[in-house]
Amino acid sequence: MIAVGMLGLIIGVIIATLVLNVSLPEEWAAYLSLAALAGLDTAFGGWRASLEGRFHADVFISGFIVNALLAALLAYLGDRIGVDLFLAAVVTLGGRMFLNLSLIRRYYLNQFALRRQRG
């Protein structure tokens, strides 16, 4: 599962850096980064869910799209009203990513311990 994800990530980065030749306006750069962050968060969430055996593709996809859009929208709104709202998105998404990663780590550690007990 994860190998598939990593393959997708690598191909995506390669396409973005080598094949795609779009230059976005500078103001969009911050929103783009934020959308990428939101996507990363959802992906880690999906990884964790798949490990726990409760992965639902529809939740995953909708979460990905809505989170990315919401994060970008929040940042835009923050820009308009002069409040650094993107910080809220960064803190929330960053915190959740750490949480998900720690759960993923624990899952693999458990697996490892179980295998050693049996072995």
Partner 1 sequence: MSENRLYQKLVFFSIWLVIGLLLGLAFKEQTRIRTAELPSARLPELARAYVQEKQSNAALEEEIRQLRQRINELETAFASGAKQAELLSQSLQEAKMIAGLLEVEGPGIELILRDSARKPSGESLEQLLPELYTIHDYDLLRVVNELRQAGAEAISINGQRIVATTGIRCTGPVVYVNDVKMASPFVIHAIGDPKTLIGALEMPGGVLSDIKSVDPKMVQLKALDKVRIPAYSGSTQFRYARPVSAQEVKP
Closest CB 113 distance from partner 1, rounded Å: 26
The verdict on 69 binding partner 1 (CB under 8 A) reads no
What single string gives the DSSP state of each residue in 22-84? ----HHHHHHHHHHHHHHHHHHHHHHHHHHTT---HHHHHHHHHHHHHHHHHHHHHHHHHT--
- In terms of CB distance, is 43 or 85 closer to partner 1? 43
* Distance, CA of 34 to CA of 55 (rounded, Å): 24
Size of the site for partner 1 (CB under 8 A): 38
The verdict on 20 binding partner 1 (CB under 8 A) reads yes
Chain residues that interact with partner 1, rule: CB under 8 A: 1, 4-17, 20, 22-24, 26, 28-29, 32-33, 35-36, 39-40, 42-43, 46, 50, 55, 57, 60-61, 64, 68
